[in-house]
Amino acid sequence: MMNNSYKSVMARKNQIMQKSVGINYNQYEFDYIGFDYEALLSEGDFTLEEIRKIQYDNGVGNTPLKECKNITKLVRKVAKPSFGARIFIKDEALNDSGSFKARRASISCYQAKKMGFKGVIAATSGNYGAAVASQAAKYGLKCIIVQECYDSKGVGQPEIIEKARACEAYGAEVVQLSVGPELFYKFLLLLEETGYFNASLYTPYGIMGIETLGQELVEDCLKLTGKIPDMVVCTNAGGGNLTGTARGIKKTTNKKIEIVGASVNLYGLHMADDNDFNKKSFTTGHTGFGLPFIMNPDRSDVPRSAARALRYIDRYVTVNQGEVFFMTEALSVLEGIERGPAGNTSLAAAFSLAKELREDQIIIVQETEYTSAGKHHQAQLAFARENGICIYFGDPKEEIPGKSIVFPKSVDLIRSVDIDLNIIRKKYLQSQFMKTKTLSKKDLNFLIEETNSSLDFVLSEIKKYDITVEDVK
């Protein structure tokens, strides 16, 4: 009998994770801190067209690209003359299970079945759980979803509870836990006890699945407009959404498309804090995930995360909760498309960013998500009121996460805020320099690719620390 204490299970976490995905991560490691990222992303030896066929055969992909003509008109009312880009949305809510995460789940479940696993497990409180459960049903796999759902008083987030309902509707078993460190422990324990496949968001399979979305964005835009998009806005949390989309775009065109990440500003709220847990109105796509994961991608449930947004992101912006709720309502009443708030994070950002672009330019909101029951913005706002959140119309800049939600009293007040990517790059490098005092040439090149920067930038940061670089003069 194995020792199943918290300390013992966490001590063997890498062993559990590697066995549960069938990937020997050690073979990709080199020297002091680096690893062969592109080699890891070739696991499974899939071509983009093979992935596309797997998805198409299982109710995933080929979602429509829709122009938001009325929202574009609204942008142009508050933009400078001749400015206000055309806004399109890639309607990922029309995937089976209702979100872009069906793309990630499709390849994970395909691989699990191919490798002979009897079931799949995912630790998620979001749309990914429903996506894995849906795809598992298609492949005849057992499915367990582990959720962080309640605070210590037993009060559950309505959005998470709705997602549990969806998972169970697809035949999955849902394990619901209160906020805290027991989520990862329970997840590892279940992987070990069942021998099921770890359908992690952060495996190569999870990223490969989204590459088709990037491919479709380019192809759809060309068909509809005769041009490629100028900008693609991706809601950013753990980084896989942006990573996979950007990789798919790069595989489809060599023309430059600006990749923008967007997160809801939840500054001041701690995601694992019992008091803060129900003070937020977004369970994903917010800075509580976006910033920690972009600065430390390997904090995930696999030894090396394939979701590495900093490699691909050109610009990172935040929007406030009130702005996202406002744009969710605008999408419904102006375009006749009712979709979930989390997916509309990128729509709120796109509304602001479109004002910077000319009328002949194109901006694509990379995904939408389904909405119903607890996922609906009205349910989220009702829950916020129950938790003492003040809700009113005014200037969104006044919003204080955990205390207020401020809808814009006029649309010209919808303004995304840029995060300095160089600060993020420096924090990422700092975290790497804490692991070693020596770097090889390969490590140095790895860090340049990881930060999407330059040799001079990385060397300038190395000088601030007691780091030796081998064979570099």
User: What span, in angstroms and rounded, lies between the C-alpha atoms of 225 and 411?
Assistant: 27
Output the 3-class SS for 28-50.
HEECCCEECHHHHCCCCCCCHHH
Position 88 in a domain: yes
Q: pLDDT for 6-35, tens place per residue?
A: 999 999 998 999 999 999 999 999 999 999
User: What span, in angstroms and rounded, lies between the C-alpha atoms of 98 and 323?
Assistant: 23
Whether 178 and 210 share a structural domain = no
Give pLDDT, residue 272.
80
User: What span, in angstroms and rounded, lies between the C-alpha atoms of 326 and 404?
Assistant: 14
Whether 297 and 410 share a structural domain = yes
User: What span, in angstroms and rounded, lies between the C-alpha atoms of 246 and 311?
Assistant: 10
Position 25 in a domain: no
Whether 227 and 303 share a structural domain = yes
Instruction: Name 424's Cβ contacts closer than 8 Å, sequence gap at least 6.
Output: 291, 294, 295, 310, 316
Whether 220 and 332 share a structural domain = yes
Position 43 in a domain: no
Grouping H, G, I as helix, E, B as strand and the rest as coil, residue 62 is coil
Give pLDDT, residue 250.
97
Whether 145 and 286 share a structural domain = no
Whether 73 and 209 share a structural domain = yes
Question: Residues 110, 120: contact at Cβ < 8 Å?
Answer: no
- For residue 89, what are the domain limits? 48-96+205-419
Position 37 in a domain: no
Position 142 in a domain: yes
Whether 287 and 436 share a structural domain = no
Q: pLDDT for 69-87, tens place per residue?
A: 999 999 999 999 999 999 9
Q: pLDDT for 249-277, tens place per residue?
A: 999 999 999 999 999 999 999 888 888 99
Q: pLDDT for 170-189, tens place per residue?
A: 999 999 999 887 888 999 99
State phi, psi for 271 to the nearest 5 degrees: -65, -25
**What CATH number is given to the structural domain containing 348?**
3.40.50.1100
Instruction: Name 433's Cβ contacts closer than 8 Å, sequence gap at least 6.
Output: 461, 462, 465, 467
Please state the domain count of the chain: 3
Give pLDDT, residue 60.
97
Domain boundary among 419, 436, 453: 419
Whether 113 and 167 share a structural domain = yes
Grouping H, G, I as helix, E, B as strand and the rest as coil, residue 87 is strand
Whether 151 and 136 share a structural domain = yes
Whether 269 and 125 share a structural domain = no
User: What span, in angstroms and rounded, lies between the C-alpha atoms of 353 and 338?
Assistant: 22
Whether 306 and 340 share a structural domain = yes
Position 61 in a domain: yes
Domain boundary among 143, 168, 203: 203
Domain boundary among 175, 203, 231: 203
Mean pLDDT of 39-56: 95
Whether 135 and 255 share a structural domain = no
Position 196 in a domain: yes
Give pLDDT, residue 180.
80
Position 358 in a domain: yes
**Pairing, β 142-150 against β 119-123:** parallel
User: What span, in angstroms and rounded, lies between the C-alpha atoms of 388 and 365?
Assistant: 32
DSSP code, position 106: H
